[in-house]
Amino acid sequence: MDKYECVCGYVYDPAIGDADTGVDAGVDAGTAFADLPEDWVCPLCGASKDNFEKVD
């Protein structure tokens, strides 16, 4: 599954979810970026999903 990078540098890795950030946003490992809720925000900087870009 694709990884996505936020403007702040945080990389969302579906294999991990967002549990490794110290911020418990409750996203389980295995959740694709596209399946994250629309109101999900970057666990580090709070930016919304549209601030992320796919990592090649």
Partner 1 sequence: MYKPIEIADGIYSVGCRDWDIRDFHGYSTYEGTTYNAFLITGEKNILIDTVKEKFGDELLANISRIIDPKEIDIVISNHTEMDHSGAIPKLMRKIGKDKPIYCSKMGAKNLKLHFNREFNFKVVGTGDELKIGKRTFSFLETRMLHWPDSMFTYLVEDGILFSSDAFGQHYAGDIFFDDEIGEEIIPHARKYYANILLHFSPRVQALLKDVAEMNLTINMICPDHGILWRDNPSRIIEAYDKWSRQEPERKVVVIFDSMWESTTKMARSITSGIESEDVNVRLMNTRKWHRSDIMTEIIDAGAIAVGSPTLNNSVFPVIADVMTYIKGLRPQNKIAAAFGSYGWSGEAVKILNKEFAEMKLDIIDDGVKVQYVPDEKDLDRCFDLGVKIAKALKEKLPKI
- Residue 54: burial class (beta carbons within 10 Å; 0-12, 13-18, 19+): exposed
Q: Which does 22 bind (CB under 5 to 8 A by kind): Fe ion, partner 1, none?
A: partner 1
Closest CA to 7 of 56, 54, 53: 53
Interface with partner 1 in residues 5-24 (CB under 8 A) = 7-10, 21-24
Distance CA 50, CA 36 (A): 12
55 binds partner 1 (CB under 8 A): no
By CB under 8 A, name the binding residues for partner 1. 7-10, 21-24, 44-45
By CB under 5 A, name the binding residues for Fe ion. 6, 8, 10, 42, 44-45, 47
